[in-house]
């Protein structure tokens, strides 16, 4: 029995990891034993050859994102439910996922730059605007905004829904149920 992949994407600070953790918690309550993958620790494990941000250009990011996709495909093909939180906003990755992962559900966290700069948990935006950092997705590094996500959570359209991550995760789990993924 094939598992499924819930691919949560958005720019840095959008809330991907928070939503992924809440979603995993709710899926466990439904009797599943999901695997949580997060872009930051995955990148440290799989991309140790990149020493600094200036080396982490679009080509390198696409390469690592496709590695994430292959891991997700492998695990889901063995029956696991995989929830991944990753920027990986590149059309090559979306297309590969749609073609190669049988039960693929993409969630796009659409958050305006103004809000992301306020959140900035890793100080990426601050460092970029201070001239201390390059290759920041959505700023000087061109990304491909998802156009065919299964679910778009738009901060500007639903700002109060974002106040409680459990509410967002509940909405996501409901969509997974509607699509017969859980």
Confidence of residue 21 (pLDDT cuts 50, 70, 90): very high
Domain encompassing residue 37: 4-178
**What mean pLDDT comes out for the span 21-27?**
97
77 is catalytic: no
Q: Which of 88, 102, 149, 170 is catalytic?
A: 88
Write out the DSSP string of 55-119: G--HHHHHHHHHHHHHHHHHHHHTT-EEEEE-----HHHHHHHHHH-TTEEEEEEE--HHHHHHH
Buried b (16+ CB within 10 A) or exposed e, 34-56: bbbbbbeebbeeeeeebeebeeb
> pLDDT tens digits, residue range 134-148?
888 999 999 999 999
pLDDT of residue 105 exceeding 90: yes
Question: By the 8 A CB rule, do 2 and 146 touch?
Answer: no
> pLDDT tens digits, residue range 51-87?
555 567 888 889 999 999 999 999 999 999 999 999 9
How much of the chain, in percent, has pLDDT values that exceed 90? 66
**What mean pLDDT comes out for the span 148-154?**
94
Best CA proximity match to 3, nearest among 108, 73, 97, 100: 73
At residue 51, the pLDDT reads 55
What's the rounded Cα separation, in Å, for the pair 33 and 11? 27
Provide the domain count of the chain: 1
**What mean pLDDT comes out for the span 158-172?**
87
Question: By the 8 A CB rule, do 99 and 110 touch?
Answer: no
- CATH value at residue 105: 3.40.50.300
At residue 161, the pLDDT reads 78
What's the rounded Cα separation, in Å, for the pair 53 and 91? 22
How much of the chain, in percent, has pLDDT values that exceed 70? 95
């Amino acid at each position: 029995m094939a598992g499924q992949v819930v691919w949560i994407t958005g720019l840095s600070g959008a809330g991907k990891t928070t939503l992924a953790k809440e979603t995993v918690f709710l899926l466990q309550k439904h009797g599943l034993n999901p695997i949580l993958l997060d872009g930051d620790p995955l990148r440290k494990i799989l991309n140790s050859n990149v020493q600094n941000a200036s080396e982490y250009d679009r080509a390198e990011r696409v390469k690592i994102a496709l590695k994430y996709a292959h891991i997700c495909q492998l695990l889901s093909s063995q029956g696991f439910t995989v929830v991944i939180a990753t920027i990986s906003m590149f059309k090559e990755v979306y297309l590969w996922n749609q073609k190669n992962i049988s039960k693929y559900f993409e969630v796009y966290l659409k958050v305006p730059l103004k809000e992301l700069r306020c959140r900035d948990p890793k100080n990426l935006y601050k460092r970029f605007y201070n001239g201390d950092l390059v290759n920041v997705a959505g700023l000087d590094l061109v990304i491909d905004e998802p156009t065919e996500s299964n679910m778009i959570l738009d901060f500007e359209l639903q700002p109060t829904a974002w106040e409680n991550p459990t509410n967002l995760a509940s909405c996501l789990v409901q969509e997974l149920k509607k699509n017969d993924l859980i």
